[in-house]
A and B are shown apart, each in its own frame.
Chain A
């Protein structure tokens, strides 16, 4: 390949750095620990305890207000719970369809907004970013007015051009489709910002050299932009994978998981059990099932992306 990844031609590690300075505390050896210390201290206080607590909780059930040890009961219940599988299936569908769709859009938007001749970049950027800023409660009303099968504006348009009205929130797979569209609408701009920052790190020299060689814009996109963007694309991929399994606000405000659980996500399901039914044990079991699945998926993505860590 003509343009290799920056990380590949870097010498790894700092082995060749000799401790020239005698007994200095801050050296290339101690530096990473010093850099990480505040993060790790905060992490062990505010993450480790809650995580261990909720892991333990997943082996307990509450009987008339008292927690009792229940072994693997919560987990075996989960394995037999058809609604859990429904939620898992929905999350998988969102992962497989929504994430690639959204990231493709985000890359296109970022590249377009990065082009040198474009005016009003700031306006476009804030425009695409604005859905993340808007409260979903505000958005929910307009969605109800737009999406209702019988009196919604969208179906009014569809029927006036001779198409059949669609049950956006009621019929068949449409509620899930609606959820995918709304989630994409809300988060594409967010990913665009991450990718824009990544694009800035690509050296202009690469493009100049390619232009001199006569490579077209499309070729440059596939042979320079995408490979160079890979580390940052990996971030957005993993974040979106996690995001699709933790999808909560959108189904919560838009559909409440209905109709008949067709838009129920795993996180919405665990919230139902934890905060509505007070079954924290079962909610914790679902939590760690989610963590396990996402962890496996992320490892696969790391491997596919060829990240060596």
Chain B
């Protein structure tokens, strides 16, 4: 009886998840349909739900319209550099906020939180002026640097680091381990799930970053993918075949990163170090 009940529960859970995923991925699937059909076909009523045969034509056209591969490189270079530096910054800041009691901690934390509440649209112009004065336009660092302080993953790291028992750190200190050793060798290794999540958010944040690279990058060889794709848009119209193919290409690396990182989500309970 109990056995059957469990099987029923499992089946229901699978069913719910499958329906949920199907609803969620319709637009995603739609993008692939759009990428393989002619531009006007996305407007068919009822919608065409099968892939078409126009993929190669769309690719040829897209290659003519924008520097898709150079833009892909730009986006990858910027996002990877950003993610690596960003992970270190977020982890160390989150660790500092969670595990140390120091003068100014609350003030700094609140100021950082407040800055997160400012809509980015409001700071574009002054930031642009700053970079124009520094003569730093149209460079990779102009896109990477201003976004490096990303408060949300810092906050996320802080909350996760709080679960790290102080006794663990104290024990290391009593063994006279250096502070950096404690951070890198004891605290960080237990944070793999959180770090993996942070990496995904950092990468995705920079990967989809649009408004800032748009204003600060000026030549097509420096455009990131979202900026390059936006050049396909006219006053009202857009070539959907090209746009959706471009978007599909731009989504693939994030999926790879996601699949690569997510194995850490299931890495099970933090290595032996943490016990109740």
Contact = CB atoms under 8 A, between A and B. Distances in A.
* Residue in A153, A185, A200, A284 whose Cβ sees the most chain B Cβ within 10 Å: A200
Contacts of A231: 159-160, 162-163
A206 interface: yes
Contacts of B266: 121, 200
B133 to A, nearest CB: 10
A163 B274 CA distance: 56
Interface string A111-137: 011010110011111111111111101
B130 A50 contact: yes
B119 A280 contact: no
B262 A125 contact: yes
B132 interface: no
Nearest to B233: A137
Nearest to B31: A138
B10 to A, nearest CB: 7
Interface in A38-95: 38-40, 42-43, 46-47, 49-51, 53-54
Contacts of A6: 162-163, 165
A10 interface: yes
Contacts of A42: 89, 145, 148-149
A54 B123 CA distance: 7
A257 to B, nearest CB: 14
Contacts of A101: none
Interface residues of A, number: 102
Contacts of A239: 152, 155
B50 interface: no
Contacts of A151: 45
A15 interface: yes
Interface residues of B, number: 98
A142 B27 contact: yes
Given A43-B112, A235-B159, A284 B122 contact: yes
A274 interface: yes
Contacts of B193: 196-197, 200-201
* Residue in B96, B101, B119 whose Cβ sees the most chain A Cβ within 10 Å: B119
Contact of B123 (A12, A39, A51, A156): A51
Contact of B154 (A39, A54, A132, A267): A39
A26 B109 contact: no
Contact of A128 (B24, B47, B176, B265): B24
Nearest to B232: A137
B101 A12 contact: yes
A138 B245 CA distance: 10
Given A17-B173, A31-B96, A46-B145, A200 B162 contact: no
A284 B142 CA distance: 24
A210 interface: no
B173 to A, nearest CB: 6
A83 to B, nearest CB: 17
A255 to B, nearest CB: 16
A112 to B, nearest CB: 6
* Residue in B34, B109, B125, B148 whose Cβ sees the most chain A Cβ within 10 Å: B125
Nearest to B121: A271
Given A54-B123, A189-B24, A141 B269 contact: no
A275 B121 contact: yes
* Residue in A193, A196, A238 whose Cβ sees the most chain B Cβ within 10 Å: A193
A122 B262 contact: yes
Interface stretch (B55-63, B74-82, B177-185): B177-185
B255 to A, nearest CB: 6
Nearest to B274: A203
A294 interface: yes
A221 interface: no
Contacts of B267: 200
A238 B244 CA distance: 33
A287 B119 contact: yes
Contact of A134 (B27, B129, B262): B27
A14 interface: yes
Interface string A274-309: 110000100110010011001100100000000001
Contacts of A117: 10
B100 A31 contact: yes
Nearest to B246: A135
A161 interface: no
Contacts of B119: 246, 248, 267, 270, 287, 290
Q: Closest 7 CB pairs between A and B?
A: A13-B101, A127-B21, A53-B126, A200-B193, A50-B123, A50-B126, A32-B100
9 contacts: A28-B173, A35-B92, A42-B145, A43-B115, A46-B148, A126-B262, A128-B24, A200-B194, A204-B269
